[in-house]
């Protein structure tokens, strides 16, 4: 983990409530897709943990949804503004487990960290299929970007306004895959757990105090003992999760 | 050259800054970031006799000037502490550490204290009678002068180490409890633990924290802490470890002027993991500003 100052290069709306922020700064502490950063915001005591969508040598992309006053403040920030970030938090996904034909399942704002993962999986020669779940057509983001990486993309909308009508699990029917990776809301995880075949990894979300393992604010029980979502997670293996 | 050293119960501290229990783990996370030997010391995460998972999540809620936590004394139990954690801690921290001990009965406090008796890297026992996040123990011992004195006397019999009683601010008169602990054999008083607090999610109309309320910490409680330290300083003759919302060198000086011999930094560690070394680096400059040559000289200066 490092603490460093990043500069906003771009901050644009992707939908009514989802924004994409590109930041320039030292990303050397990032080593895996699915890790997160913790952002200091003026007037807020706690930092805001946001998963990294993708990163390069000198920049990273965050895609975040406005869910409260912190992300609301972020949504109106202009290019050029400097932010203090803790970088390289969390364990991230393990791309080595993917096999040849991994399945990536993202629900809503859980989708962004899967993008960096998908990029890495394709770079190492895997052929991922991606299921993106949204409530309705106007909420869709990143569909084209995943396609441009070369992944097979299936979109599901709960109201049927685009793609497969229903939940991500409806789009999972008949698919075969070597491993699965998922990030999204807990009800989606439970539906996936009931339907998925074989091994996989879940990326969890929890309210955090510090984000780096000191405060025990985000603990959960697993089959392998108590874990901290921020430090030992957010990614847990299917085999260890207690539902 | 200014002198930033102080001492606590006969043990010299290179500087007055300590990581506060519950915000500093067992030192490991911070040792990855900087040399924690720079600290005066730290008080490690509260330990109980048996392992505890703690409370349900969410355990954290934000406040305008701080945060609420309801961790509930999650810890691996004293056996794992002694067998696994303390030997590792010796490798990363070479000074006396403060052991924060907890109990749900007088007997548990006694047994935990006894288990730590032979541990030479433990400098002090910080006896927590003020955790607001557990039922049937914790704060229930710290809200009565009689119960706090009983815990103090019981731990006194089990330990040759200096014992410092960590008090709750959620009481009618903290000086009465501090005096009772002193009379029962305490070597020092730590204050303040967190204040009871609650936040409600306006959308769901339910408390944010799963356990409903928790302990409020952060800059918002700093003036409360200064006031309580000031009053306890006048009530007892044993040293005071000050804490509650400290986040700058000026805060350290203010708390020492109120009567603290050394100062713990808590919630600030969680939002700025480098805050303790920053404060230590800032101290000489702040001392120059206020014409302080020797930091220990200003303990209780506001009286």
Q: Where in chain A is the domain with CATH 2.40.30.10?
A: 2-89
For residue A216, give how far its alpha carbon lies from the nearest alpha carbon of chain B (Å). 6
Residues A164-174, mean pLDDT to the nearest whole number: 93
Position B136 scores a pLDDT of: 64
Q: Which of B53, B62, B65 sits opposite A221 (nearest CB)?
A: B53
User: Which residues of chain A have a CB within 8 Å of the CB of B218?
Assistant: 45
Quick one: tokens of B204?
């769901």
pLDDT of res. B222: 98
| Tokens 């020492």 sit on residue | B256
pTM assigned to the model: 0.94
Residue pLDDT, tens place only, B20-30 = 999 999 999 99
* Fold assignment, A2-89: Elongation Factor Tu (Ef-tu); domain 3 (2.40.30)
Task: Please tell me if residue A83 touches chain B, with a CB cutoff of 8 Å.
Answer: no
Asked, for residue B257, whether it belongs to a domain, the answer is yes
Q: Inform me whether the C-beta atom of residue A86 falls under 8 Å from chain B C-beta atoms.
A: yes
What is the pLDDT, as a whole number, of residue B131? 77
Taking CA–CA distances from A40, the nearest residue in chain B reads: B271
Q: At B261, which CATH number? A: 3.20.20.70
The whole domain housing B119 covers: 6-298
Write b or e for each residue in A125-152: b if 16 or more Cβ atoms lie within 10 A of its Cβ, otherwise e. Answer: ebebbbbbbbeeeebbbbbebbeebebe
In a domain, B303, yes or no: no
Residue B233 lies in a domain: yes
- Running along chain B, 303 residues long, what does each successive block of 10 average in pLDDT? 95 98 96 97 97 95 96 96 97 98 94 96 96 69 91 97 96 96 98 96 95 96 98 98 98 98 98 98 98 97 98
Verify whether the Cβ–Cβ distance B62 to A208 is below 8 Å: no
Taking only residues 155 to 214 of chain B, the set having a beta carbon closer than 8 angstroms to any beta carbon of chain A reads 208
Name the segment(s) of chain A with CATH classification 3.40.50.80.
95-203
Interchain proximity B66–A45, CB inside 8 Å: yes
Confidence of residue A173 (pLDDT cuts 50, 70, 90): confident
Active-site residue identified among B9, B63, B131, B276: B131
B 58-77: CB under 8 A from A:
58-67, 69, 71, 74
Within a domain: B1:
no
Closest CA to A243 of A201, A181, A196, A193: A193
Peptide bond between residue A11 and the one before it cis (omega within 30 degrees of 0): no
Pick the CATH number of A95-203 from 3.40.50.300, 3.30.980.10, 3.40.50.80, 3.40.50.2000: 3.40.50.80
Confidence of residue A174 (pLDDT cuts 50, 70, 90): confident
Is B273 close to A210, i.e. CB distance below 8 A?
Answer: yes
Compute CA A216 distance to the chain's CA centroid, rounded to the nearest angstrom.
22
Tens digits of per-residue pLDDT, B220-266?
999 999 999 999 999 999 999 999 999 999 999 999 999 999 999 99
Domain count along chain B: 1
Q: CB–CB of A231 and B29 under 8 A? A: yes
pLDDT, tens only, A130-154: 999 999 999 999 999 999 999 999 9
Q: For residues A31 and A107, what is the distance between their CA atoms, to the nearest angstrom? A: 24
Alpha helices by DSSP H, A14-111: 69-75
Task: Say whether the peptide bond before residue B12 is cis (omega within 30 degrees of 0).
Answer: no
First to last CA, chain A: 30
Whether B131 is catalytic:
yes
Region A95-122: what's the mean pLDDT? Answer: 97
Distance from CA of A230 to the nearest CA of B (A): 12
R_g of chain A computed on alpha carbons: 17
Using pLDDT thresholds of 50, 70 and 90, give the confidence band for residue A22: very high
Residue at B249 is within a domain: yes
ipTM over 0.90: yes
């Amino acid at each position: 983990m490092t603490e460093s100052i990043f500069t906003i290069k771009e901050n644009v709306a992707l939908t009514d409530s989802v924004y994409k922020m590109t930041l320039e700064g030292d990303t050397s502490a990032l080593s895996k897709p699915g890790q997160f950063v913790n952002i200091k915001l003026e007037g807020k005591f706690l930092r805001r943990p946001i998963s990294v969508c993708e990163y390069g040598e000198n920049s990273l992309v965050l895609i975040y949804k406005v869910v409260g006053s912190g992300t609301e403040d972020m949504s109106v920030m202009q290019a050029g503004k400097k932010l203090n970030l803790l970088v390289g938090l969390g364990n991230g996904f393990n791309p080595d487990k993917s096999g040849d034909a991994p399945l990536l399942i993202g629900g809503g704002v859980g989708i962004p960290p899967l993008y960096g993962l998908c990029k890495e999986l394709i770079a190492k020669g895997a052929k991922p299929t991606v299921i993106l779940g949204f409530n309705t057509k106007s909420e869709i983001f990143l569909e084209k970007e995943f396609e441009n990486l070369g992944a097979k993309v299936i979109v599901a909308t709960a109201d049927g306004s685009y793609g497969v009508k229903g939940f991500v699990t409806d789009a999972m029917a008949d698919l075969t895959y070597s491993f699965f990776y998922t990030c999204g809301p807990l009800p989606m995880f439970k539906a996936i757990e009931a339907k998925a075949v074989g091994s996989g990894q879940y990326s969890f979300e929890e309210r955090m105090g510090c984000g780096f393992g000191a405060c025990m604010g985000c603990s959960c029980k697993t089959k392998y003992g108590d874990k901290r979502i921020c430090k030992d997670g957010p990614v847990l293996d299917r085999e260890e999760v207690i539902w | 050259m200014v002198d930033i050293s102080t001492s606590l119960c006969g043990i010299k501290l290179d500087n007055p800054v300590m990581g506060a229990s519950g915000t500093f783990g067992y030192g490991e996370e911070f040792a990855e970031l900087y040399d924690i030997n720079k600290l005066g010391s730290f008080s490690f995460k509260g330990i109980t006799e048996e392992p505890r998972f703690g409370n349900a999540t969410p355990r954290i809620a934000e406040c305008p000037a701080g945060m609420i936590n309801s961790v509930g004394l999650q810890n691996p139990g004293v056996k794992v502490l002694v067998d696994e954690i303390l030997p590792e801690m010796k490798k990363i921290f070479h000074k006396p550490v403060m052991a924060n001990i907890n109990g749900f009965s007088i007997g548990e406090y006694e047994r935990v204290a006894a288990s730590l008796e032979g541990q030479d890297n433990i400098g002090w026992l910080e006896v927590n009678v003020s955790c607001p996040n557990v039922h049937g123990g914790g704060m229930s011992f710290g809200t009565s002068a009689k119960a706090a004195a009983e815990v103090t006397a019981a731990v006194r019999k089990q330990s040759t180490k200096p014992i410092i009683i960590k008090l709750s601010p959620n009481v009618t008169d903290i000086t009465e409890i501090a005096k009772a602990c002193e009379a029962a054999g305490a070597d020092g008083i730590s204050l303040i633990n967190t204040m009871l607090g609650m936040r409600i999610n306006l959308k769901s109309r339910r408390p944010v924290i799963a356990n409903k309320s928790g302990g409020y910490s952060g800059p918002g409680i700093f003036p409360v802490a200064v006031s309580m330290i000031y009053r306890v300083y006048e009530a007892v003759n044993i040293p005071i470890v000050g804490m509650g919302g400290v986040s700058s060198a000026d805060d350290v000086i203010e708390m020492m002027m109120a009567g603290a011999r050394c100062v713990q930094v808590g919630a600030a560690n969680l939002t700025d993991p480098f805050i303790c070394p920053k404060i230590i680096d800032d101290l000489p400059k702040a001392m120059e500003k206020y014409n302080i040559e020797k930091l220990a000289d200003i303990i209780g200066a506001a009286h």
